[in-house]
């Protein structure tokens, strides 16, 4: 009786240890969209090899649930084996148990190597599962070393089961989040943007190609700065995504992704910047955005005369509000694309707002799901109660990209170069001063639009010594300087 009970206990602990392993392996599989958990890899191989007669039988009998049936069968087999593993492990036959765990791990790893787009790394979820199962078993047995008092033995058992249960739940939750991310990544990769109905000409040759160290005309998406209040990026599928326009409007509207895409699409070259960008900082970037007109959408929803603020809401709870009056034909957009790609998840997939000339924290809501028409004296965006101004046009700023502040350069001919921006006013002139020499007017790169930065450079041939470089940028509408930064190295 007692030994039967112990065998049952051992078996159940084996199952629990395997669940810990599987949930961790599953979380691991979420780290890359081509990786699968061991159960799915094994299932894939069964589907590959099972005779077609059995496949047809399964489809006939279980219909669309045939996959679920296959997966459940594998799970049942694995649970059965885990029960046996636990029974042997906890009855002093550790080696047998280890051999079975190893065998299953090897089998699942081989299965994973045949998954579509697999690499050697595809075995990681299976290996994780095997190792985690093994170490959990070992940890359990250490914790359950028979103690003289039966009472404490029972307490130990509760503790072990509790800890393993919590670990399984936590790893399962993590796996869900990661897998959702992976599946939205796949969805996004499969998505494509048709040519914009109003497209921009191909950009001119980038002066950065000739000037080492100068920022490229467009900032590549992977290098584009990111500011997020959320800990992890929301993973929103366009299948379920909707954009609502409501609040102080007489004609509230809801759009699906497909409905938005049917509207007139256009391109916008625009430099966005974070208000927290410090002199010389990199919280600024230039992109060719692709999207639809925000002005039109808002006009169609008929804001009431009381409304004076357009507030974007994100699924992550972030909000940003800007003046309704800023929708003055300056090409504010709901962006669905960035630099020729579907909007990256990090930058707001599936949709975000871009308003030229306004700082990101009052306008550029990522993972946008709702646009509310409201009033500044009634509602405040995320950063306003935290001390930031509700009105936030981007200031005229400039940056020296090269030579880099504080770095030593070789004497000899080179360039001093950088970028200057003043969306939507545009940059007309940049002047550079080296030490006590007179101000020199820099050569300016192409002006894509008044909303974008302009690259600038001057030739320079330093002899050895220390130099301070100062900079002023002038905007189109005024001739006096609006910003300056000084460099010392
Ligand atoms: N949902 C959401 N949108 C957001 C933010 C955020 O934290 N959450 N940050 C804003 C800020 S402060 C800036 S400067 C820009 C940055 O956009 P990027 O991360 O695509 O560069 O996004 C804005 N949109
Ligand atoms: Mo920002």
Q: How far is the CA of 383 from the centre of ligand 2 (A)?
A: 9
How many Cα atoms sit within 13 Å of 109 on the Cβ side?
15
Q: Is residue 114 part of a domain?
A: yes
Q: Is residue 82 part of a domain?
A: yes
Q: What is the CATH number of the domain that holds 474?
A: 2.60.40.650
Which amino acid residue places its CA nearest to atom 19 of ligand 1?
226
Domain that holds residue 7: 2-179
Q: What is the pLDDT along the chain (489 residues), one digit of tens a residue?
A: 457 888 899 999 999 999 999 999 999 998 887 899 999 999 889 888 888 788 778 777 777 677 788 889 999 999 999 999 999 999 888 999 999 999 999 999 999 999 888 999 999 999 999 999 999 999 999 998 865 555 667 888 999 999 999 999 999 999 998 888 888 998 999 999 999 999 999 999 999 999 999 999 999 999 999 999 887 789 999 999 999 999 999 999 999 999 999 999 999 999 999 999 988 889 999 999 999 999 999 999 999 999 999 999 999 989 999 999 999 999 999 999 999 999 999 999 999 999 999 999 999 999 999 999 999 999 999 999 999 999 999 999 999 999 887 778 888 899 999 999 999 999 999 999 988 889 999 999 999 999 999 999 999 998 888 888 888 877 664 433 333 444 333
146 shares a domain with 37: yes
Q: Is residue 191 part of a domain?
A: no
Q: Which of 343, 367, 386 is a domain's end point? A: 386
pTM score, two decimals? 0.79
366 shares a domain with 403: no
120 shares a domain with 216: no
449 shares a domain with 329: no
Ligand 1 site residues, Cβ closer than 6 angstroms: 224-229, 274, 314, 316, 318, 347, 360-361, 364-367
Q: How far is the CA of 28 from the centre of ligand 2 (A)?
A: 32
In the block, which residue shows the tokens 């924290």? 361
Q: Which of 386, 414, 436 is a domain's end point? A: 386
Q: Is residue 461 part of a domain?
A: yes
438 shares a domain with 335: no
Q: Which of 318, 352, 386 is a domain's end point? A: 386
- Cβ neighbours of residue 220 closer than 8 Å, sequence gap 6 or more: 339
353 shares a domain with 279: yes
224 shares a domain with 287: yes
**Tally of CB atoms within 10 A around 173:** 12
Give 102-107 contacts, CB < 8 A, sequence gap 24+: 102/130, 104/38, 104/78, 104/130, 105/38, 105/129, 105/130, 105/131, 107/42
d(CA 120, CA 46): 20
Q: Is residue 189 part of a domain?
A: no
133's enclosing H/E stretch is helix 124-143
Which amino acid residue places its CA nearest to atom 20 of ligand 1?
347
d(CA 315, CA 328): 27
Which amino acid residue places its CA nearest to atom 1 of ligand 1?
366
Number of folded domains in the chain? 3
463 shares a domain with 318: no
Which amino acid residue places its CA nearest to atom 15 of ligand 1?
360
153 shares a domain with 77: yes
424 shares a domain with 344: no
The pLDDT score that the predictor gives to residue 487 is 37
Q: Is residue 185 part of a domain?
A: no
Q: How far is the CA of 131 from the centre of ligand 2 (A)?
A: 43
Q: How far is the CA of 169 from the centre of ligand 1 (A)?
A: 32
Q: What is the CATH number of the domain that holds 356?
A: 3.90.420.10
Angle at 347 between CA 346 and CA 350, to 5 degrees: 95
410 shares a domain with 356: no
436 shares a domain with 402: yes
**Tally of CB atoms within 10 A around 362:** 28
Cβ–Cβ under 8 Å, residues 14 and 85: yes
């Amino acid at each position: 009786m007692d030994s039967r009970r112990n065998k049952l206990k051992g078996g159940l602990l084996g199952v629990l240890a395997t669940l810990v392993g599987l949930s961790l392996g599953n979380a691991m599989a979420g780290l890359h969209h081509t990786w699968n958990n061991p159960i799915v890899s094994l299932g894939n191989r069964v589907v590959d090899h099972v005779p077609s007669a059995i496949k047809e039988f399964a489809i006939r009998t279980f219909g669309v649930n045939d996959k679920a049936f296959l997966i459940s069968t594998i799970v049942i087999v694995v649970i059965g084996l885990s029960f046996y593993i636990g029974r042997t492990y906890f009855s002093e036959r550790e080696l047998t148990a280890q051999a079975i765990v190893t065998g299953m791990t090897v089998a699942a790893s081989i299965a994973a190597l045949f998954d579509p787009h697999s690499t050697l790394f595809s075995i990681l979820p299976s290996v994780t599962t095997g190792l985690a199962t093994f170490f959990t078993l070992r940890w359990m047995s250490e914790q359950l070393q028979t103690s003289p008092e039966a009472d404490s033995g029972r307490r130990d058992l509760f503790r072990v089961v509790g800890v393993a249960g919590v670990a399984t739940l936590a790893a399962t939750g993590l796996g869900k989040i990661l897998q959702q991310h992976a599946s939205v990544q796949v969805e996004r990769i499969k998505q494509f943007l048709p040519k914009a109905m109003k497209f921009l000409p191909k950009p001119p040759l980038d002066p950065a190609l000739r000037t080492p160290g100068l920022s490229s005309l467009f900032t590549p998406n992977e290098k584009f700065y990111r500011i997020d209040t959320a800990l992890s990026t929301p993973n929103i599928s366009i299948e379920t995504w909707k954009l609502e326009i409501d609040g102080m409007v007489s004609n509230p509207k809801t759009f699906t992704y497909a409905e938005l895409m049917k509207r007139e699409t256009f391109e916008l070259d625009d430099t966005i910047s974070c208000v927290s960008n410090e002199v010389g900082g990199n919280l600024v970037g230039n992109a060719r955005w692709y999207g639809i007109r925000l002005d039109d959408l808002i006009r169609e929803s008929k804001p009431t005369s009381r409304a004076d603020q357009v507030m974007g809401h994100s699924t992550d709870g972030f909000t940003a509000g800007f003046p309704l009056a800023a929708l003055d034909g300056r090409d504010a957009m709901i962006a669905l694309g960035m630099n020729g790609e579907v909007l990256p998840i990090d930058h707001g997939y599936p949709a975000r707002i871009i308003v030229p000339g306004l700082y990101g924290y009052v306008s550029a809501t990522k993972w946008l799901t709702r646009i509310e028409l409201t009033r500044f004296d009634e509602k405040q965006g995320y950063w306003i109660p935290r001390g930031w101004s509700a009105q936030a046009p981007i200031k005229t700023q400039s940056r020296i990209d090269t030579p880099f502040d504080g770095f030593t350069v070789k004497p000899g001919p080179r360039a001093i170069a950088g970028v200057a921006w003043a969306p939507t006013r545009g940059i007309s002139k940049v002047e550079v001063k080296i030490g006590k020499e007179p101000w020199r007017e820099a050569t300016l790169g192409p002006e894509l639009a008044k909303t974008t930065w302009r690259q600038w450079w001057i030739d320079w041939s330093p002899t050895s010594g220390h130099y301070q470089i100062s900079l002023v940028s002038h905007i189109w509408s005024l001739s006096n300087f609006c910003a300056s930064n000084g460099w010392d190295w």
